[in-house]
Every structure is written in structure tokens, then in C-alpha cells.
Structure 1
Amino acid sequence: MIKYKYRLFALICFLSGIALSAQEKKQFPNISVVLQNIIPDVKNNSWILIHKSYGKDNIIKQSGEKKDFESQSLGFNIGIADGDSFYYIVDFSKGKPEYITDLMGLGKFVGKVDNIYDAAVFAATEGYIIDEEFRDLAANYYQDSTNYYLDLGKLTSKECPYQKKHFTLTIPKSGEKILNVKENGSYIELYNKKCTNNPRLLKLEKKEEPKDEPKKSNKSTKRR
């Protein structure tokens, strides 16, 4: 009886350990690695992933035979947008090259969620980003047997103030939808001198202007 209880206890501890390790948060690798590990919806063995930086094309993944393609002037990013750096995909699944240069096209290329990297791409089509500068807040994930849970950022204001918030998204495995969105608050708020709602400027405006000192009388006292 004692041996049975001990074995049962050991089994419970083992299963609990598996459950906890499955829910342990992990940080996303860099954007390039995430995109290299996506699984296209169509079983496509012929596509190229290119990172263009300052006008130079760098092939970071090539699936299938090397084929010619034309350099693109526009592309996508699932992190912080940078006009001098972006990604694009050349898809040869239909024989001739087709260029994927925006997030909607990337989402269609990936299709249903097959792994955590697909989930990150799907979230990016909804405006969320992997923020590599703030990995603890907006670039990590964990999973259980049913869902992926992604902590990602989102640019919520380009006006005054420039603002980013972070969220926890629940995305089902082998799905194409977001089950739940939990807002975790702002982690960046930047004001500039032109922001009329800058708290610092408002405080300065509330300060009273210094009063002028009373003028001294210039009249001299006359003796009688």
C-alpha cells in the first residue's frame, strides 16, 4: 500500500512538472529566425525569404532550387517597422515567381497555425509586433496542449503621445483566430515639444507668472 501511494505521488509530481514546463515562458528569437521557421499552408518546397537592408538583398532562407527573382522595393516586418530594412518572400509554387510584400499576403502564405512562429505571423496580420527591445513584456510566449499564449506589443498611437501597449493573445493550435486578448497596459509613452498634451508643458503653464515688484517712490522728502 505504501509503495502504491509513493508511486502515485511520484506520477503526480512528474505530470505536474510536465505541465509547468509546458507553460514556462520562452522568448521569441530574432525576427529573422521566426520567419525562417514558418510553415507555408501549401506544401511548397520552392520559396525564398529575403531580408533587404539599405538596398541590399540578403537571402536568409532558400527552400528548393535556386531561381532568379527581381529585387523588391517594399516589404513587411513583424517587429518594429524600419523603412531601411524589411523582408519579402518569393513564392515559386505556381511555376513563376510571386512576390509577398505585405502582412496580409504573408498571412495567406502561412495559412493555418502549425507552430508558434505561424502564430506570431498571424498576430502580426492583426497589428501586433514582436518587440525585440522589450522581450520580457512584448516578445515571449508559452503554450499548453490546446493553445499558444503570446505576449506581444502593439503601436496604439502615432500621435501625441507616441504609445505602445503590450497584450497577451490566446491563439488555438491549428487555428486561424484569436480566442482572447488581454491588455497589460502601456510600456512606452513618448512626448515631444509639439505635443499640446505633454504633461510637463501643462505643469509649466499652470505655474503663476512672477508678479512685478512694487515700484519705489522717486519723490524726495521736502524739509520745512
Structure 2
Amino acid sequence: MKIMLMFSILFSNLIFSQIIVPSDYIKIPDTLRSRNDLYKFIIPNQKYEYWKVMRKDDTLEEKLIYENKEVKNIKYVKTHSSEKGFFRECLPGWCFTYITAYQNKKPKYFTSERELKDFIGYVDNLPEALLLARTYNLLFDYKNPIGGSFKIDKDFIYLYLAKFENCPVSREAFYVKINRKTGVLEYESKGIYYKTSDCYLS
């Protein structure tokens, strides 16, 4: 029984070690770990005088995550908050994120993953790519390059990201390719590279 267990562990480690990140990929900087820190790098697809990112939860409380003002000292009419958004999470309750952007002092809401993609438009940089990947639940593993590496050329952004499971705890590596012009994202699993017997239920 002990021999079988040892063989199983060795075999699992062998499978996990097969995932290799190409040498021309760079580890994603740890400073990009927090999703809230990514919004400030967005270069919107259109020109807006002002835009902001809001988070709303099941208590109906709203929190300003980020705001960008192209025109200084301009006043905006307070708008109604959105009743829907992207990045729906916070189980067992709920919360979501949305963007309000102003053109000619008129608000426009971006409340879905598709609309977030439209707001970003051309994928200018790595933080925008990470935000798009998060709409597919593909996250940055700052502890391991297998789940947190990238390279960029003029047409595409290439990433190694991860999906996390809590029960049992595991991390699965994914190769991601994002068309910078269209925002189209393709991905494929490269296999599980970390797994334990722990189980966490929210």
C-alpha cells in the first residue's frame, strides 16, 4: 500500500513537472496581482472626459475602485448606479463591477464582459490583457511562472495563466493567446501543476 502511494505521488509530480514555460516568456510582475490595480492602465477604445470603475455588493453599498479624469475640475451630474455588472462574485452573497464613462457630460454604462472588452478595444498592454483573461476566470499565479508568464508582439499577447480550485485545492495551467486588434482570446489547458488534498468551501 505504501509503495503504491509513493508511486502515485512520484507519478503525479512527474506529470506536474512536464509543464514548461518557453524561455522567451517573462514572469508577470507581482505588482499586477490585484485586479483593482489593473484598471488604471486601461486606455479606452474611445475618448472619454471622465470614467470610473465601481463595485456594488448585496448590501447595495458602492465603492469607487478607480476614476480617470481627462478634463480637470469638471463637474458631473450624479448618475443612477447600475443594477448589473461584470466579475459577478462574493458568494454566498453577490457583488459586481461596472464602468461609467462620460462623453459630452452624458453617462454610458459598461456592465458585461462583452462591454468591458468593447471599452478596452485594442489591447494596449499587459494589464488590459489580464483583465480580459479574468472574464474567462483565468488568473495570475504570482508564485509560479507556469501560471504567471507573458510575452508580447505587435499582433498578440501570449500568457501562461491559471485556474484555481478550492476543493480539492489545485491550480491548472492555461496557455492564452489574445489578438490585440480584436480582443479575441483563445486558450488551452496545459494540465494541473499543483494539487493538495485540502478542501475549502466558502
TM-score by length of 2: 0.62
Matched, 1:103 2:118: no
Alignment of 1:106-125 (within 5 A): 106-125=116-135
User: 2: distance between equivalents of 1:138 and 1:100?
Assistant: 32
Match of 1:33 in 2: 37
| Residues 141, 148 of structure 1: 8 Å contact kept | no
Aligned length: 165
CA distance in 1, matches of 2:169, 2:188: 21
Shift of 1:122: 2.9
- Name the amino acid aligned to 1:184: K
Say which structure is richer in helix: 1
Specify whether residues 140 and 163 from structure 1 end up closer, same or farther in structure 2 by C-alpha distance, changes over 3 A only: closer
Counterpart Cα distance in 1 of 2:145 and 2:89: 18
Are 1:81 and 2:95 an aligned pair? no
Higher relative contact order (CA 8 A, sep 6+): 2
TM-score where L is the length of structure 1 = 0.57
More strand by share: 2
**Partner SS for 2:103:** coil
CA distance in 1, matches of 2:101, 2:113: 15
Alignment of structure 1 residues 18-97 onto 2, 5 Å: 23-27=25-29, 28-53=32-57, 54-64=59-69, 65-67=74-76, 68-77=78-87, 81-83=89-91, 84-93=94-103, 95-97=105-107
Which deviations, in whole Å up to 9, do the C-alpha atoms of 1:6-40 show, x marking residues without a partner?
xxxxxxxxxxxxxx7x7321243201011232111
Contact 1:87 1:101 in 2 (8 A): yes
CA distance in 1, matches of 2:196, 2:104: 46
The one-letter code matched in structure 2 to 1:116 is L
| Gaps in structure 2 of 5+ consecutive residues | 1-22
- SS at the partner of 1:97? strand
- Name whichever of 163-172 and 34-43 sits farther off: 163-172
CA distance in 2, matches of 1:69, 1:173: 32
Gaps of 5+ in 1: 1-19, 193-224
The superposition leaves residues 20-69 of structure 1 with CA deviations (integer Å, 9 ceiling, x where unpaired) of: 7x732124320101123211101223111112345321212222245212
1:1-224 mapped onto 2 (5 Å cutoff): 23-27=25-29, 28-53=32-57, 54-64=59-69, 65-67=74-76, 68-77=78-87, 81-83=89-91, 84-93=94-103, 95-125=105-135, 127-130=136-139, 136=144, 140-146=148-154, 147-154=156-163, 165-178=172-185, 181-186=187-192
Aligned sequence identity (%): 23
